[in-house]
Amino acid sequence: MSDMPSHPVVQKVLDGYAFTGPAIELGGLVVDEATVTDVPVRIPLAMVNRHGLVAGATGTGKTVTLQLLAEQLSSQGVPVFAADVKGDLSGLSLEGAGGEKLLARTSAIGQDWQARSNPVEYYAIGGDGIGIPLRVTMAAFGPMLLAKVLELNDTQESSLGLIFHYADVNGLPLLDLADLRAVVAHLVSDEGRADLKGLGGLSSATAGVILRELIAFEAQGADVFFGEPEFEAADLIQVTPDGRGLISLVELPTLASKPAVFSTFLMWLLADLFHDLPEVGDLDRPKLVFFFDEAHLLFKNASQGFLDQIAQTVRLIRSKGVGVFFVTQSPTDVPDEVLAQLGSRIQHQLRAHTPNDAKALKATVNTYPTTEYDDLGQVITGLGIGEAVVTVMSERGAPTPVAWTRLRAPESRMGAADTDAMQAVVAASPRHAKYAEPVDRESAHEILTAKLEEGARKAAEDAAAKEQAREAEAEAKAAKKAPARKKAPAKEPDGIVDQVVKSPVFKDFMRTAAREIARGMFRSGRR
């Protein structure tokens, strides 16, 4: 290690980051703008499941930091899940490109940079992209998360919960948006309105609001990721034969059109992991690390009940061996009850160009432990691209000294992979065969449609029967009003003389006699 400057932060960092177990290497200590050292700044691998935060203004290097963490976790056998918001993380599957400038930077902080690729799996929400489709049934997604997406108020959220309960009790499987819309439409129809009375105060007006919001939600293209086969979150926990953790990336090509859907979907995935994974306590390395990018979208306009659920999930999922890192622009984007549970903090540059920015900066500085830097706020606003202020949880569970850090460079490609390469990876995956083709089994929509058709058939039959009864009754009334007809006298049977006269033989005899008489008359005339 090179000669160290005499600044007091150097010894503090040397002592504070001297871990005995495996660790994630973040970078080298920066003393001031002119002094970069190879004093290592790290995160103990065993403490990664105590969660973390990567924050910073746009363009300060958060995505590259996420890439750095992902490839180091993978190399130590820890599977990773991350949302690829801008498409840049897909380069994790390819070797990075070196260069004189990059090697000069990495050597200054003690990094022995070697180009390498990583095992990567590509996913896409509902197949909206190149990756393996990720789907979830409406029933599994649940009313609380759906209410968050639809921006329902407390009363409407409670009513949505009753609708889910009604479907469950009445054997109406909710698999996709069409199923839920069918149930709500049934409850506001003439046939189903009576059922509303048994749902604890669900009004037709509230049901109508929910139905309209669902229709608008579907119009945004959200129906693609509700359905079957439902993704099993345990499939994210994969280790390759050579012992590296699989990096699962979710493409988000249409994030701008449905940001709340994306963030809530990720929250469902995290909650599903919490539900399915067994308790394991404290491990020497996490079973999975989950990166929650664009985290501010999750917390925006969230109800207190929703925030409480997130806080509880983050707090308890640590015992399932899962670490969660929130990635966002400012620490103030994350609620205090969640922020308090994040053991590692990687803070990129914040800008203080407005009064609100200055307020956020001051709040951020106040959340850090005591530091050897004279003005931590000035350090944060003066950070260069690829630099961050770091504090993590030590192996004994105490916060480490605040360290201005020049971060290591990823050894995989910093940028997007080409489409053909991604498609080849997707086609070769065993998960593709499992999830690629959608399944459409009988559910609430089909059941209610069949019930409606049966009702319409019976109604038509009843109407036809009533019409026939009316016609018969009309005929009966008409028959009673008509005058009675006189009967013609019955003809007496023919006598023997009449029978002889009418017989063919008698008729022939009479014709012959007439001819003979006529001949005799003509003969006498000629004489």
**Radius of gyration of the CA atoms of the chain, in A:** 42
What are the two backbone dihedrals, phi and then psi, of residue 404, each rounded to the nearest 5 degrees?
A: -70, 120
* 95 and 181, same domain (yes or no): no
Is residue 466 assigned to a domain? no
* 211 and 241, same domain (yes or no): no
Residue 386, pLDDT score: 92
Is residue 437 assigned to a domain? no
Query: Domain residues for 114?
Result: 8-135+232-428
User: Final residue of a domain: which of 369, 402, 428?
Assistant: 428
CA distances, 320 to each of 44, 64, 77, 270, 307 (Å):
18, 27, 17, 11, 20
User: Final residue of a domain: which of 428, 459, 482?
Assistant: 428
* 280 and 379, same domain (yes or no): yes
Asked if 217 and 257 count as a contact pair (C-beta separation under 8 A), the reply is no
User: Residue 84 and residue 259: Cα distance in Å, rounded?
Assistant: 13
| Cα first-last separation, the chain | 173
Tokens 């609620």 found at: 335
Is residue 252 assigned to a domain? yes
* 69 and 91, same domain (yes or no): yes
User: Final residue of a domain: which of 222, 256, 284?
Assistant: 222
* 40 and 127, same domain (yes or no): yes
- What lies within 8 Å, CB to CB, of 379 at 6+ separation is 373, 389, 404
3-state class (DSSP) for residue 53: strand
3-state class (DSSP) for residue 349: coil
Q: What is the CATH number of the domain that holds 374?
A: 3.40.50.300
* 103 and 53, same domain (yes or no): yes
Residue 526, pLDDT score: 41
Taking only the tens of pLDDT, the chain with its 527 residues reads 445 666 788 999 999 999 999 999 999 999 988 889 999 999 999 999 999 999 999 889 999 999 999 999 999 999 999 988 778 899 999 999 888 999 999 999 999 999 999 999 999 887 778 899 999 999 999 998 888 888 888 889 999 999 999 999 999 999 999 999 999 988 888 878 777 777 766 788 888 899 998 888 888 777 888 999 999 988 999 999 999 999 999 987 666 666 667 777 777 888 888 888 899 988 899 999 999 888 887 787 777 777 888 888 888 999 999 999 999 998 888 988 899 899 999 999 998 888 888 888 888 888 888 788 888 999 999 999 999 999 999 999 999 999 999 999 999 999 889 899 899 999 999 999 999 988 888 999 999 888 877 766 776 777 788 888 888 888 888 877 766 555 555 555 555 556 655 666 556 656 655 555 444 544 444 44
Is residue 458 assigned to a domain? no
* 182 and 242, same domain (yes or no): no
Is residue 318 assigned to a domain? yes
Q: Which of 5, 11, 63, 3 is nearest to 388 (CA)?
A: 63
* 200 and 124, same domain (yes or no): no
Asked if 80 and 291 count as a contact pair (C-beta separation under 8 A), the reply is yes
Is residue 321 assigned to a domain? yes
- Count how many domains the chain has: 2
User: Residue 108 and residue 29: Cα distance in Å, rounded?
Assistant: 10
For strand 80-84 and strand 247-251, is the pairing parallel, antiparallel, or unpaired? parallel
Is residue 527 assigned to a domain? no
User: Residue 346 and residue 350: Cα distance in Å, rounded?
Assistant: 12
Is residue 57 assigned to a domain? yes
* 96 and 201, same domain (yes or no): no
* 100 and 179, same domain (yes or no): no
* 42 and 190, same domain (yes or no): no
* 405 and 387, same domain (yes or no): yes
